[in-house]
Chains A and B, each alone.
Chain A
Amino acid sequence: MATDPYARFGLTLRGWAFPGGSSRKVPAKLVTRAPLDGRGDAPFVDIVDEADRVIAAAQFDEITIDPPLGRSPRRMHFPDEAMFETEDHDGVRSLTGQTRGDLLSSYEAFRPRLVAVIAALAVCCWVLWRYGLDLMVTAAIALTPAGLLGYMDQGTLQTIDLTMADDTELDDAERDRVRQIFSTLLAELPASKINDRDFKLLFRNMERIGPNAFAMPGGTIVMTDQFVEKFPQEDVLAGVLGHEIGHVVESHGLRQTYRSLGMYFLIGFLAGDTGPIIDEILLEGNLLLSLQFSRKHEASADEFGVKLTADAGYDPAGLQMFFREIAKGGLTPPEWLSTHPSSEERVEQIEGYIDALD
């Protein structure tokens, strides 16, 4: 005779039977009895109606019992689509023993300890936002084929050419001079950091944008004519190019794309649980907070640029010179609202990076 750890034999649960195949619902009992010899130690389960006719019968391990959910009636599904429903929660528990579903349900119970759950939720949100997403982003970057990035650069460049850029008006000698600096910098880049990126320097005439340079994830770097005209000094050119190479090597653009996608998925799939208003606050708040990452990336690219230019034999103070000039330019938005740290601050930080070189 098999042993019965939960006293599961000889139980009677009152409830309702749905015999299966239709919506018919009848008052019924669920009764359990010991299995026949040689059929293991799980009980045998019958649904019987009020006249003690058997509606369905099965071995205990053949039936599916839905996990508990609040006070909702418990449901047991039999192999032939018959179903038994009962509000005898204790009875079902003595049949199943303590399951993982019971554990979950007990944590969900409306009790003062839910305050701890709220606190844990706040902490976990912060940890995920601060560290968890970064881990996922790093994994996603590792999985992105480098060839794809080249095509994406082409697409971005096409958009820029279409909307805001004209062909460069710099003469060949001037372009060659800047390209020379670019290749000197690249020569200093260790092979391990090139990471299959296809570094390219392009020039565009962009009057509305002014003196500027930007990097795309695949390694395409665009410098405006206005930049070369305003800052012809080799050290400044090297400093800014080094900064842009830093963005590419550290995958900053891709990081920000994946990070915002990650947040979009997370908020999107949790939105049903947060409601429309909180959903909006999360999306907007995330946008504002993600600027912090953008500023961190700028500082990191500054540091990278300073080191690379120094290694290549240029004066690392060139980048500083550029920001001093920008700082004179006037209006800058408050820092928390900006994608870049303020120019004054960057001048100071770069001082620190230069000091650290020796």
Chain B
Amino acid sequence: MSDTSMNVNPGETQQVVFNGKAGEWFGIWIVNLLLSIVTIGIYSAWAKVRTKKYFYNNTFIAGRNFDYHATGKQILIGRIIVIVGFIAFTLLSAIPFVNIIMFLALFAALPWLIVKSLQFNARQSSFSNVRFNFTGKMGRAFVVYVLLPIVLYIAIVAVGAGGGFLAGQTGSVALGALAAVAVLVILLFAIPIVDRAIKRYVINHHWLGKAAFSFDAGLSPFVKALSLALAWIVLVVLVSGVLFGASFASLADMFVSLDAGGEPTPGQLGLIGLIYLLFFVAFLPAGFIYQALIRNVMYDNTQLDGGHKFRSTVKVGKLMWIAISNAFVVAISIGLMLPWAQIRMQSYLASQTFVIPGSSLDDFIGEQQAAGNAIGDAYGDLEGVDFGVGI
């Protein structure tokens, strides 16, 4: 690291550099797993800290790296509370009436968990010795994570069911087709609306010390990304319909014969396997198309006080290739190549991410905040969801 590497000229694009090495990360990862198992999961809290620290420490912008400051003890306490709560929830959910209250309570608790999780993660992360912060409010979290999705879901169901009912009553095929198109159109806007609302909420309430992040983008890039993803699914369905349509029709016979107590033939089982395969071919790439395009939109439209801008140039094809070949290698190595796959993905994402500083990176003013508890973070870990924006 030379003296000049950390003093940047404003406007000079800086590539994000990831220095993680597969062999080194493998050693840390496998020891993490062993100690977690030996301690019946207790060490997993410390393993999480080591994992995050490894990836943060090895990510550099202009010679400065990130750090993660949570302690294993904090994470463990959060996890224990979530486990006790989860067991209580499971047992109490079996009791009549109490289960309804429990269900409503979880709904009410969700925004709290999300805000606490985002807050904890931001305040325990730092760049160049300055902590991040998150200042989003629970009311707004309730709107973007709970209310908005429910309202749009109800709208879709109402239009779909209403149109279907009318079509059934009048026997009009045109009306049915109209309802189907209406559902598709609402869907095409509903997902972008929710997704953009979440990204606005998360990014616009994040800070690096006293510098605020801000993000705004029109709806159209979101709709465009989703359209491309849906177009891929439609394409797969059409192509497979042309290629295998006749064979699929024979599956209807199979269900008839199964009802009569018959056994499926190997050919029919093969067809069912093919349907599973087509399902993956349709939906996995669609997910990557959307993710890659939205990541670029997100970075390109985010700013940080001080005139700092961001840029992401992830390519759909390349991301898909890395993700699919990673999954293949991990599967045939019974998981042992996972660290290699993670390093490979992270290196690619870093290589396509840029910061265009508007001023000196020395000038971020730090601000210490109490990080709060790790309950929301533990809940997110357990359910396997990331409440953030998934950088």
Closest beta carbon of chain B to A265's beta carbon, Å: 6
Q: A23-B209, A128-B40, A271-B384 are in contact. Are A154 and B362 (CB under 8 A)?
A: no
Closest beta carbon of chain A to B5's beta carbon, Å: 10
Q: Are B130 and A23 in contact (CB under 8 A)?
A: yes
The complex places the Cα of A255 from the Cα of B81 at a distance, in Å, of 22
Q: Are A144 and B91 in contact (CB under 8 A)?
A: yes
Q: CB within 8 Å of A: which of B33-73?
A: 33-34, 36-38, 40-41, 44, 47-48, 50-51, 53-54, 57-58, 63-65, 67
Closest beta carbon of chain B to A320's beta carbon, Å: 29
Q: Which residue of chain B has its CB nearest to the CB of A87?
A: B1
The reply to whether the CB of B244 lies closer than 8 angstroms to some CB of chain A is no
Q: CB within 8 Å of B: which of A70-103?
A: 70-73, 75, 81, 83, 87
Q: Which residue of chain A has its CB nearest to the CB of B20?
A: A70
The reply to whether the CB of B103 lies closer than 8 angstroms to some CB of chain A is no
The complex places the Cα of A120 from the Cα of B1 at a distance, in Å, of 39
- What residues of B have a CB within 8 angstroms of the CB of A275 in the complex? 330, 335, 338, 341-342
0/1 string, B196-225, CB within 8 A of A gives 1? 000000000000010000000000000000
Binds A, one of B23-31, B137-145, B170-178: B23-31
The reply to whether the CB of A53 lies closer than 8 angstroms to some CB of chain B is no
Closest beta carbon of chain B to A227's beta carbon, Å: 25
Interface residue from A118, A158, A270, A279 paired with B41 (Cβ < 8 Å): A270
0/1 string, A136-161, CB within 8 A of B gives 1? 10001000100010011011101000
- What residues of B have a CB within 8 angstroms of the CB of A152 in the complex? 91, 94-95
Q: Are B94 and A125 in contact (CB under 8 A)?
A: no
0/1 string, A9-25, CB within 8 A of B gives 1? 00000001010111111
The complex places the Cα of A277 from the Cα of B338 at a distance, in Å, of 10
Q: A121-B30, A261-B90 are in contact. Are A69 and B130 (CB under 8 A)?
A: no
- What residues of B have a CB within 8 angstroms of the CB of A87 in the complex? 1
Q: A155-B95, A268-B381, A278-B335 are in contact. Are A25 and B128 (CB under 8 A)?
A: yes
Binds A, one of B184-192, B226-234, B265-273, B363-371: B363-371
- What residues of B have a CB within 8 angstroms of the CB of A158 in the complex? 96
- What residues of A have a CB within 8 angstroms of the CB of B341 in the complex? 275
The complex places the Cα of A345 from the Cα of B57 at a distance, in Å, of 59
Closest beta carbon of chain A to B357's beta carbon, Å: 11
The reply to whether the CB of A109 lies closer than 8 angstroms to some CB of chain B is yes
Q: Which residue of chain B has its CB nearest to the CB of A274?
A: B335
The reply to whether the CB of B86 lies closer than 8 angstroms to some CB of chain A is yes
- What residues of B have a CB within 8 angstroms of the CB of A104 in the complex? 31
The 10 closest A-B pairs by CB, nearest first: A18-B129, A72-B57, A23-B128, A110-B23, A23-B364, A152-B94, A108-B27, A155-B94, A268-B382, A278-B335
Please name 14 further chain A to chain B contacts, defined as beta carbons within 8 Å, in addition to the given A132-B40, A270-B41, sorted by A numbering.
A23-B130, A23-B361, A24-B362, A25-B6, A104-B31, A110-B23, A124-B37, A155-B96, A156-B94, A273-B33, A273-B44, A274-B33, A274-B338, A278-B338
Sample (15) of A-B pairs whose CB atoms are under 8 Å apart: A18-B128, A22-B362, A69-B50, A70-B25, A108-B28, A110-B27, A114-B26, A132-B40, A152-B91, A266-B40, A268-B382, A272-B48, A273-B29, A274-B33, A277-B327
Residue numbers of B with Cβ under 8 A of A are 1, 3, 6, 19, 21, 23-34, 36-38, 40-41, 44, 47-48, 50-51, 53-54, 57-58, 63-65, 67, 79, 83, 86-87, 90-96, 98-99, 127-130, 209, 327, 330-331, 334-336, 338, 341-342, 361-366, 368, 381-384
